[in-house]
Structure 1
């Protein structure tokens, strides 16, 4: 009889099914589940948040047993997995990532990695999103994620996963020996300063445009994700759909 805590774990991401982060996650998930299913985008779908393809059909490629590449968004992948491929026996847990780059503060609004996890929560599946922080211009150093993914999962699963939200985990960009442990954090504003547009001419002289996120840390609010990761901790933030600005809600409620 299996001693693993889960029968089925579903993996998704937004970097694509061939990305290195999901391979690290797949190796870790095998320690916790009898079956690991991978249903992920066929290509990089970073920045699509919780987008679902309501007006477009979805094509799927089989990549082997329990592995599917979806020509759609991360939320599409989770929906297809839970409501179609795994319909008769839905997953016990959804793990999303490991993302190349952080998902901190405002980045979580843009993130397809977090969007996949939120979709899992919507469909009644406990979910955790994982990201590896890096400098914007650099390739990620996966050593911290590889070293800590399994013990972090053990700690979070032992603590019990919430039903009403997903957990957002960010690994710091440090040598493994400098990582200080887990820190429970709040979302905060994070590292995003804004969005920028770069105009480029193609070989025919016609213009096209790249949209990029502008990063910059101006402050490190106490208990925030950006503070935790900056100080060498693995940040863990519970995220939910609720985005009401409570103070403004209270003020407007009194006025109207």
Structure 2
């Protein structure tokens, strides 16, 4: 299998190297292409830095995965996934792995995640994709357990490869030394943390992240993850709603 590894935390993120290493150890042919700069919250946006549609691509060497082709791309992860599907980094990938993201991606807010956006973009272009996130919380430990996230994801690699083209899965793993197999879970309305807009009198606003008060829905991805269980959710990209009467 040809695997593209991308993320929204940027080319130098430790979670990216850990996920690439896991794919290499699984025996897949790996290419890394990730944003040159941090690009969280970009969803499936196709923005790229450059004039007249030209996007800068810089060859990089990542010491954690020696010998693996790696590219720092001046673009959001959604555009990277689209470009990969059209041969920008060699043969189009069979599988796209996005992550490991620094922070959970749960609930309907996955709509805004660049990690998930790359996976969904890859899926609508014919690849099988897996977004992987580590629940480090708002006060992360000095050394997050990237290897735990990769170990849980790697156990799904063969299953992912056998699923239909266009499959997109969203995996979240608790930040602990060991974790069991993921439980399939529906999306919560919100996760345990959410974005909050604070208005001020100067005509601007500040975007912050806050902890959600109250109980999370039982059985949801947010609730199970908060209880220490990895979760996996099969995602469907944008499609028509045949049940809406107009």
- TM bin (shorter chain): 0.7 to 0.9
Alpha carbons of 1:193 and 1:13: their partners in 2 closer, same or farther (altered >3 Å)?
closer
Tell me whether 1:155 sits opposite 2:164 in the alignment. no
CA contact (8 A) 1:10 1:95 kept: yes
Q: Counterpart of 1:30 in 2: which secondary structure? A: helix
Other-structure match for 2:64: none
Instruction: Tell me which of 102, 116, 121 is aligned to 2:118.
Output: 116
CA contact (8 A) 1:190 1:225 kept: no
- Secondary structure of the residue aligned to 1:18 is coil
Q: Give the alignment of 1:106-145 within 5 angstroms.
A: 106-139=108-141, 141-143=143-145, 145=146
**Do residues 84 (structure 1) and 58 (structure 2) align?**
no
Query: Residue 241 in 1 paired to residue 244 in 2?
Result: no
Structure 1 match to 2:22: 28
Q: Provide closer, same or farther for how the CA distance between residues 111 and 90 of structure 1 changes in structure 2, counting only shifts above 3 A.
A: same
Give 1 or 2: higher helix fraction.
1
Contact 1:120/1:127, CA 8 A, preserved across alignment: yes
Q: Return 5+ residue gaps in structure 1 as ranges.
A: 1-5, 200-205
TM-score, normalised on structure 2?
A: 0.83
> Structure 1-normalised TM-score?
0.80
SS of the residue corresponding to residue 87 of structure 2 reads helix
- The change in CA–CA distance for 1:58 and 1:207 in structure 2 (over 3 A counts) is farther
Counterpart for residue 168 of structure 2: 166
CA-based RMSD: 2.8
Q: Secondary structure at the residue paired with 1:28? A: helix
Structure 2 gap segments, 5+ residues each: 62-67
| Residues matched between the structures, number | 235
2:104/2:172 contact within 8 Å kept: yes
Q: 1:213 aligns with which of 209, 214, 233?
A: 209
Aligned partners of 1:198, 1:134: CA distance in 2, in Å? 27
How far apart, CA to CA, are the structure 2 residues paired with 1:22 and 1:140? Answer: 17
- Pair member with larger Rg: 1
**Runs of 4+ with >6 A deviation:** none
